Every structure is written in structure tokens, then in C-alpha cells.
């Protein structure tokens, strides 16, 4: 982003002896800048004060983003890099007369691992006990940076970006897909209703640039220097819904099996203990740790009001667009031999109807089937007239909604989701969409009728004839039998089609070819007779 503005010469300092770019980076702006000297690379270990000072020589601004992998719960490692390393960064800034230091902190510095966070602002204090050593040492580093503000002309500012995602990610998406390929992504830790703030990587970069720009002006420095700022996409979303959107976008099933935290936490403690004992023998960092379980099951949302008002920060990329770009950047992680969306799901609209009919959400499907059973009982087996049956159903619905509205939000540890009036509201956009769908369907039928009237589309003729035959058979049945058979066909037929889609499509194609050949033969024979 700095290079794109054309106002900066950028120096990248990192731990490896040489910079290693991904192919898209090599061919993009950064690769070109490194080749023409607009950007340079220097190897430096934050724990070595001399190396840090050499890296900072001649710099006007420093963006300090270096930190170890947060999933490694090793206090000694995190302290040496996050705390001692940040001390070296501050000392080097003062020694090299750097004017501005923007430190990349974390929202985890206010998370205790026990209590959820909802729309917290920067007034939220540090907890007495932190979730892990990463959070604790990031908080210590943040305090150092804020205390350094004003020392020998150095202006400092701390940015707290929440849950970064985007193209180039080496942690979130790859680990999620690795779990999916091992069959581990089907589980939801907790009730699945915890909200999170995710931040697209370009918005994180923009937050840093906004902070630097604010500190560079005299008036802005009076406001922002020595302060912390939360940076998010300003679009809170359920954590597991976000994960599901990534998984579905890459062709994997969304998680659906909920496991209570009380069940999985003892297992996580055993896994972490095992890692501590065997890490020295090369054991990889486990995904299932107590600190991670707490992160996956708690609310963590933050207010960006201060960043918006004081830094002029606004997300450049929406959550939807960010997810789309992220998924498209990982074609090599697409599910093999698995469609991201089946034809059956597309036909059913890819929404709640598809999830219900295709058994994607078992709980929702069972609920709908029970509701259909109640409707069947009231309409057919009780001997009521249609109007009486509908009146009784509406009475039961009204009673259920009334009782549900009286219930507390938590019953015996189970969260009760309240129904909002907005759930039943139809927006103008939705109404236009429905009207457009109806008109499109009607126009398609008219188009089919035109083709039928020309008398040369035999496959269409056979499809229409077959459809009318099915309607004729259903109409000859009693409404009771039609309801039972229709329900069974819908909830088994679409699922069977989704499972054996290729086979069924092949069989239908063969039948259509035979019918088409038969139609062509009949047509040529009639022409000869004429």
C-alpha cells in the first residue's frame, strides 16, 4: 500500500537471510519494487539490538509487525521476541532518530479467556490473567510502546487488528483445509453462536497507513500519539459461519456437529501437556489447545469508533468481498472430486430450503419433518375441514410464539434465540427478487411453449409429456396419499440426486438420446410418406 502511493521507499526487515516471495508477489508491485530499488530487504533478528539498529538506519517511520506464531504457547519464546524484541525496536528508533513507530498489537491483550467480549472499546482494561503467553507478552509490548511516546521526539501508536484473513494467509485457511481433509472440520466447539470480528488484510494495512498519516500531522499527533486502536471490518459475524463460508467456498462441507466446551476442554489439556513433554523430540504444535478452545467458543467483537473518528479509518474491502478474494486465492486447496455446490442445491436456491431438503442441517430438517407431521395430523387424520385445521394450526403457532417470547435467554445452560419481528419482514429488495423470479419462470414457460409449438423439439415434448403424466398420477391420488408420497419424494429424491448426480445425469442423457433418435426416425418416416 505504501509502494502503491508512490511516496515511499520501503525497507522490509525480517528473520530469513533472504526474502522469499510467492509467485504473485514476485510478479506484482513488491517484486518490481525490489528489483528497481524502490524497496529493499534486510535480515534482522529482533532479539539482536545491533541488527535492529542497522535495519532502522535512515528510516523515518517503523511499522513493527513481527511476532512468533500465536498458537505456540511458549512463554520464553514470546517474551524474548514480543517484549525484549520490542525494547530493542524502541531503542533503535530513538538511536536512529525515527519519527514515528506504529506497533501491531492484538485484541487478545484485553481477553482473559473466560469472559466473552462484545463491542469493546479501547477503555477496556487489561485482564488480571491472560488467555495465553502470546496475549500476555503482546500486552507488555503494547505498554512499552505507549510509554515510549514522546521520548526524544518519537511518536508511537498501537493498532489492534482483529483476526486477520486474506490472500497469502499461511495459517488460518491452510490449517482449516488440512482439518477438513482429515475429517475434523465437521465439529463446532460450543453452541456455535459466538460472534467474532474478522479483518481483511488490506483493511489492516490501511489501518496502519491511517495511523501513520495521523501521527505525521501536528494536530493528529496531539490526538493519536500514545494511544491504541481496534481495527476490524466493522461487520461482526458468527465465528463458525465465517469458517463455514470459507469451507463451502473451497468445496467442503460446513461444520454441523456441536461439541460442548466442557467435553473438549479436558482433551485439549491432555494434548497441550503431551506437546510440552514431547516438543523437544519434534512433535508439531497441536491445533487443539485450551487457549484455542476458549478463542473458538467466546464472543470477541470490538468497536472501531475511535479509529474511525481519530484516524479516519473505514474498511476499504467488505467482509463479503474479502471472503470472495480469499477463497479465489487458494485454488490449490479446492476439494478434489467434490463440487462446491451441487446441482440439487442450485435448483433449490442454495438457501435454507436447500439445507433442509438436502439434510445439510440435520436439526433443521428434523424440525421441518416434525412440523409437516403436525400439519398432516391436523389436515388429514383428525377429520377437520380445511378452515378448521388451519385455524387450529395458527392457534398453536401463536401459543408457541407467546411462550417462546416469555422464556429467558438462558434455560439450564442452553441459549434461547429470540425471534425478532425482522425475521418476518419482507424487504423491498426481497420482494423485487421474488417478483423477478416469478416473471423469469413465466417467461421460461412461455419460451418452452413457443418451442413446443414449432413441433421440432422432441426432448422438450417428452419432458412436458412426462411432467403432465406425473401431475395426472398425483391428481388421481387422495390428498392424504399425495402429501405422504410428495414429502417422501422431496426429502429422499433430492438427496439421492445430490449423492448420485453424475450417474443420474448420465442415465437421463442416455434416455433423452434414445427418445431424440426415436423422434428423428418418426419425423423422417412421416416426411417420406408425404
Cite the active site residues: 138
Residue 268 burial (C-beta neighbours within 10 Å; 0-12, 13-18, 19+): buried
> Grid coordinates representing 515?
427418445
CA-only gyration radius of the chain, Å: 30
The grid cell for 103 is 506497533
Residue with cell 490501511: 206
Q: How far is CA 316 from CA 112, 129, 195, 231, 361, in A?
A: 31, 35, 22, 12, 34
429 CB-contact burial (10 Å; exposed 0-12 / middle 13-18 / buried 19+): exposed
Report d(CA 237, CA 198) in Å as an integer: 8
- Cell numbers describing residue 411: 434455560
* Residues forming a β-bridge with 10: 39
Q: How far apart are CA 180 and CA 159, in angstroms?
A: 32
> In whole angstroms, how far apart are CA 348 and each of 339, 357, 455, 494, 501?
16, 8, 31, 9, 15
Name which of 319, 340, 329, 333 is nearest 241 in CA terms: 319
| φ/ψ of residue 102, rounded to 5 | -110, 120
Instruction: Please list, in sequence order, all residues whose beta carbon lies within 8 angstroms of the beta carbon of residue 7, skipping any fewer than 6 positions away.
Output: none
42 neighbors 54 (Cβ within 8 angstroms): yes
Residue of 339, 370, 343 whose CA lies nearest to 354: 343
Q: Name 369's Cβ contacts closer than 8 Å, sequence gap at least 6.
A: 487, 491
Q: What are the start-end ranges of the H helices in 133-198?
A: 133-147, 172-181
DSSP H stretches of helix in 104-200: 133-147, 172-181
From 141, 54, 151, 73, select the one nearest 104 (Cα to Cα). Answer: 141
Q: Which residues contact 372 (CB under 8 A, 6 or more apart)?
A: 487
- Residue 523 has which C-alpha cell? 419425423
Separation CA 212–CA 448 (nearest Å): 62
Amino acid at each position: 500500500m505504501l509502494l502503491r502511493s508512490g511516496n515511499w521507499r520501503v525497507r522490509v526487515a525480517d528473520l530469513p537471510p533472504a526474502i522469499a516471495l510467492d509467485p504473485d508477489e514476485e510478479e506484482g508491485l513488491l517484486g518490481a519494487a525490489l528489483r528497481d530499488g524502490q524497496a529493499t530487504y534486510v535480515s534482522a533478528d529482533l532479539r539482536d539490538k545491533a541488527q535492529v539498529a542497522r535495519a532502522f538506519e535512515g528510516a523515518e517511520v517503523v511499522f513493527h509487525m513481527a511476532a512468533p506464531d500465536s498458537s505456540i504457547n511458549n512463554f520464553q519464546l514470546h517474551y524474548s521476541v514480543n517484549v525484549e524484541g520490542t525494547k530493542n525496536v524502541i531503542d533503535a528508533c530513538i538511536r536512529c532518530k525515527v519519527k514515528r513507530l506504529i506497533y501491531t498489537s492484538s485484541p487478545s491483550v484485553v481477553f482473559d479467556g473466560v469472559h466473552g467480549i462484545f463491542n469493546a472499546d479501547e477503555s477496556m482494561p487489561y485482564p488480571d490473567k491472560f488467555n495465553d503467553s502470546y496475549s500476555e507478552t503482546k500486552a507488555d509490548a503494547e505498554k512499552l510502546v505507549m510509554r515510549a511516546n514522546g521520548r526524544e521526539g518519537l511518536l508511537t501508536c498501537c493498532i489492534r487488528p482483529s483476526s486477520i484473513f486474506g490472500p497469502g494467509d499461511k495459517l488460518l485457511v491452510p490449517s482449516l483445509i488440512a482439518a477438513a481433509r482429515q475429517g475434523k472440520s465437521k465439529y463446532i466447539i460450543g453452541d456455535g453462536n459466538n460472534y467474532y470480528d474478522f479483518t481483511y488484510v488490506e483493511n489492516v494495512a490501511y489501518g496502519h497507513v491511517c495511523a501513520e498519516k495521523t501521527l505525521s500531522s501536528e494536530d493528529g499527533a496531539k490526538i493519536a500519539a500514545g494511544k491504541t486502536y481496534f481495527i476490524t471490518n466493522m461487520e461482526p459475524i458468527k465465528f463458525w459461519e465465517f469458517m463455514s463460508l470459507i469451507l463451502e467456498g473451497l468445496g467442503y462441507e460446513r461444520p454441523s456437529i456441536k461439541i460442548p466446551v466442557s467435553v473438549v476442554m479436558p482433551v485439549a489439556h491432555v494434548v497441550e501437556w503431551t506437546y510440552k513433554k514431547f516438543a523437544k523430540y519434534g512433535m508439531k504444535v497441536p491445533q487443539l489447545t485450551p487457549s484455542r478452545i476458549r478463542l473458538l467458543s467466546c464472543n470477541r467483537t470490538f468497536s472501531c469508533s475511535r479509529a474511525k473518528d481519530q484516524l479516519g479509518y473505514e474498511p476499504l474491502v467488505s467482509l463479503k468481498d474479502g471472503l470472495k478474494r480469499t477463497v479465489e486465492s487458494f485454488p490449490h486447496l479446492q476439494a478434489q472430486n467434490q463440487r462446491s455446490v451441487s446441482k440439487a442445491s442450485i435448483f433449490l436456491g442454495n438457501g435454507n430450503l436447500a439445507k433442509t431438503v438436502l439434510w445439510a442441517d440435520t436439526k433443521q430438517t428434523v424440525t421441518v419433518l416434525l412440523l409437516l407431521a403436525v400439519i398432516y395430523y391436523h389436515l388429514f387424520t383428525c377429520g377437520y375441514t380445511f378452515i378448521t385445521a388451519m385455524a387450529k394450526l395458527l392457534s398453536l403457532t401463536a401459543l408457541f410464539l407467546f411462550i417462546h417470547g416469555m422464556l429467558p435467554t438462558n434455560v439450564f445452560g442452553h441459549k434461547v434465540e429470540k425471534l425478532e419481528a425482522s425475521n418476518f419482514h419482507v424487504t423491498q429488495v426481497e420482494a423485487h427478487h421474488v417478483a423477478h423470479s416469478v416473471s423469469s419462470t413465466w417467461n421460461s414457460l412461455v419460451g418452452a411453449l413457443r418451442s413446443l409449438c414449432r413441433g421440432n423439439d422432441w426432448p422438450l415434448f417428452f419432458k412436458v409429456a412426462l411432467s403432465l403424466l406425473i401431475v395426472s398420477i398425483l391428481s388421481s391420488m387422495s390428498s392424504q396419499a399425495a402429501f405422504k408420497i410428495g414429502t417422501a419424494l422431496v426429502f429422499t429424491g433430492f438427496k439421492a440426486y445430490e449423492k448420485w448426480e453424475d450417474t443420474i445425469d448420465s442415465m437421463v442423457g442416455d434416455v433423452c438420446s434414445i427418445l431424440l433418435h426415436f423422434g428423428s426416425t418418426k419425423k423422417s418416416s412421416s416426411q417420406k410418406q408425404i
